[in-house]
Structure formats: structure tokens, C-alpha cells
Amino acid sequence: MNNSLRFISISHQTASVTLREKYHIPEVEKSDLVNHICGTFPDISGLLLLVTCNRTEIYFESQSTHATTIRDFLIGQKGGKDSAETKPLFNFSNETEDTVRHLLKVTSGLSSSVLGDAEIVHQIKKSYQFSIANQLQGSLLERAMQTVFKSHKRISNETHFRDGTTSVAYKSLKVLSNIFDEPSLKSKKILFIGAGDIVNQLFKYNSKFKFNNIYVSNRTEEKARTLSKLHHSQVFSWDKVLANDFQDFDVIISASSNCPQLIKQVPIRKEKILLIDLAIPCNIDKTLGKAEHIMFYDLDTISVDLEETREKRFAAIGEVTNILTEEHEVYKEWLQDAPLRAFLAEYKIIVNQKVVEYFDENNKKPNTETIKTITDRVIRKLRKKTLRPISSKEMELAIEEQSSIIV
């Protein structure tokens, strides 16, 4: 039985954050989970585990283990209920072509919550490096990843799909990095207020900016503690936020839901304070922006350049889809040629042996490279024929012909 590349996926497209966070795999648990899967299902020869804030996906190469089996296994491992309500949260496929099509769509950014988000490419690279380190790339998966990287390069070079950013979180951090000079950035004390999608994105994109003096506050302190533990930051008291007691913060980015006019004052000081309000309704009193020591941005000012980027990305969807279709077709052709490649690999051993015998019979001693070259040329002649061994006579004639050319 031949291997198939299969997948399971739970994402923002199929489940709310509350439901999908149950199946989030922390970094420290990934090795154990992968080892457990491969130990339980020994026919799995390749596996890639992709975990982001919006999705948990397992791509795997197997002979007989089905996607639904891995789905049920994951549900059991994460303590979920194996029920009619839980199973529909997962998309899956047992067909190699469908799996590659899904993988290409995910890694292109077409399936991202932020259209065209390039972060997914870095995440898939990291996941694939983990697979390689554990010798779990598999032939079907390896070829699929080559297709992914080629598609990514074409999308970047041939379309406007990767231009700019459409994330207010990313743009906010970019504003911060542009305002303060490089030497002082590392020491800036930064406060994130909230624990929803925007604050999660702030932490996600900070992996690029690497600000390391970050505090987080939320009205539900447990959520703030979870975020601080996950992203190696510190918790700031919600009571102090309510009291507008912001001590010596240089930057406050607020994105707390249903907290209008949460911030009405900040300390007066020599150094400038950057306030960014990403909430609706607004968290920060706009009149604070009139003070000389305060730099103020809200969603409107942060989003000035984002709409143009969104429009460019939407306009490029057709081009991106065409590229993915073309690269998927190349993968399909490679997949369809698999029987021929297997046949030729096996037959190459026979041809190589015949080449050695030919030279022995003619008292010639060519080097290894010459034998390899002649073998490869004979095999290329075979490629033009049907999937059958050429006769001994045909092989002898082919070897003699190629030997006369090279030796």
C-alpha cells in the first residue's frame, strides 16, 4: 500500500478561540506529542505539527492511519470530549492532493485571519525544521514543503500580496520603533492593556521587534497571568489601570473591550509618552493627545496606510490563486510519476551492474564517475519507453553506445 499525505486542522475558521485553545500545543509539549503519535501509529513516516494562535494542524504521511484516527487521538490527548459536537471543529483529508492544496492555501496567507499574513511562512518553516530534526520529513511532505517555499517566493516576487501590513498590532509596534531611537528602545517600559486578539497579535509580532520590557494588564487577572507566562512578560495590576497609576511607562497600547474612557490621565514628565488606542469604544481620552509630552494615536491614525494595503491584497487574490493552482499541478505531476521513479530506482541497480560487467568483459577499468554517467544515460533512454525493462540485447547496445561516446 502506498503512503498518503493527510492532515487534520482546527482553526479560527472552524472554532472560537475558547474552543480551539483546548487544542493549542505549548512548545514544551510538542516533542512528547509527536513521539507519542509516532509510537502509537508506526506506519507514520512523516509528520509536521503547525501550531499558531489561530490554528493547530497535523500533517502526516502514512500507509493506513487515517486522519480521523489522529483527530480522535488528539482530542483524547487534550482531554476533549469525543463527541458529535467536538469532531466537526476539525477539518481533515486523507487525500494527498487535497492535503497539499490545503497546505498551500494556509501557508500563502489566504486562510489567515489577517489576509496575506506573512508570519505563517515563518511559523511553517520553524515547524518543518522540527520535523527534519526528528527525521520526520517524509518524501511526500518534503516535496510538499518544496512546493510551499517555491509558491511563497513566486507570490512575493510576482504579486502585491505581501506588500505592507494590514495588522493594526504590527503597525502599532512599527510606530513605536520609528518614534524612539534604536539605543533607547530596549529600555522602554511598555504596557499592553487587554487580553483579546489585538493584544495576542501584539505579542506575536513582538517576536520580530523584540521589545523586552513589556507588562500586560487585564480586568481578568488570570488571563493577564497566562499571557505573561506565555510571552515572558510581567503582570501590571488592573486596579492601578483603573486608578490611572501608570508610574514610569513610556508606551501604553490599550485594546480592552467595553472600557470607554479607561485612561483619563497619565503622569506629567520630561520624557514623551506614547499612547496608542486600539479599542472600540475608545479606551483613552482623546484630549490627552493635546498635551506636549504625549504622542497619541488611535485606530484612525494607525489605519491610514492599512486600507490601501488591504485593497492591494484583495486585488492580488486571483494572481495568488493562479500561482497556487500552477504549483499544485506541478506537485500532482510529480506524484503521478512516483511509480516510474520507483521502477527506475530499482532498475538502476540492474543497469549499473550490467555496465560494470560490460567493462570487465572488455578488460577496461573506468572510474566510478564514468560508470555512473553511463548508467544515468542508459536510464534516461529507458525513461522514454514504457514501464518495462528493456531486453538484455537493448541494454547491451545502449551500454556499448554510451561507452563509445564517453570512454
**pLDDT truncated to tens, each residue of the chain (407 aa)?**
689 999 999 998 999 877 888 898 988 899 999 999 999 999 999 999 999 878 999 999 999 999 999 999 999 998 766 677 889 999 999 999 999 999 999 999 999 877 888 778 988 999 999 999 999 999 999 999 999 999 999 999 999 998 877 788 999 999 999 998 877 887 899 999 999 889 999 998 998 899 999 999 999 999 999 999 999 999 999 999 999 999 889 999 999 988 999 999 999 888 899 999 999 889 999 999 999 999 999 988 887 777 778 888 999 999 999 999 999 999 999 998 877 777 667 777 888 888 888 888 887 888 888 888 888 887 777 666 555 556 667 767 777 777 776 65
Instruction: Dig out the grid coordinates for 238 from the structure.
Output: 488592573
CA 373 from chain center: how many Å? 40
Residue whose entry in the numeric block shows the C-alpha cell 524612539: 180
Residue 254 contacts residue 279 (beta carbons within 8 Å): yes
Q: What is the pLDDT of residue 231?
A: 95
For the segment(s) 4-162+312-336, the CATH number from 3.40.50.150, 3.30.460.30, 1.20.1110.10, 3.40.190.10 is: 3.30.460.30
Strand-by-strand arrangement of the 4-11 sheet: 46-51, 55-62, 4-11, 91-93
C-alpha cell at 156: 512575493
Is 3.40.50.720 the CATH classification of the domain at 168-304?
yes
DSSP 113: S
Burial of 29 (0-12, 13-18, 19+ CB in 10 A): middle
As given in the structure block, the three cell numbers for residue 283 are 479606551
In this prediction, residue 223 carries a pLDDT of 95
Model's pTM, two decimal places?
0.66
Instruction: Break the chain down into helix, strand, coil percent, rounded to 5.
Output: 55, 15, 35
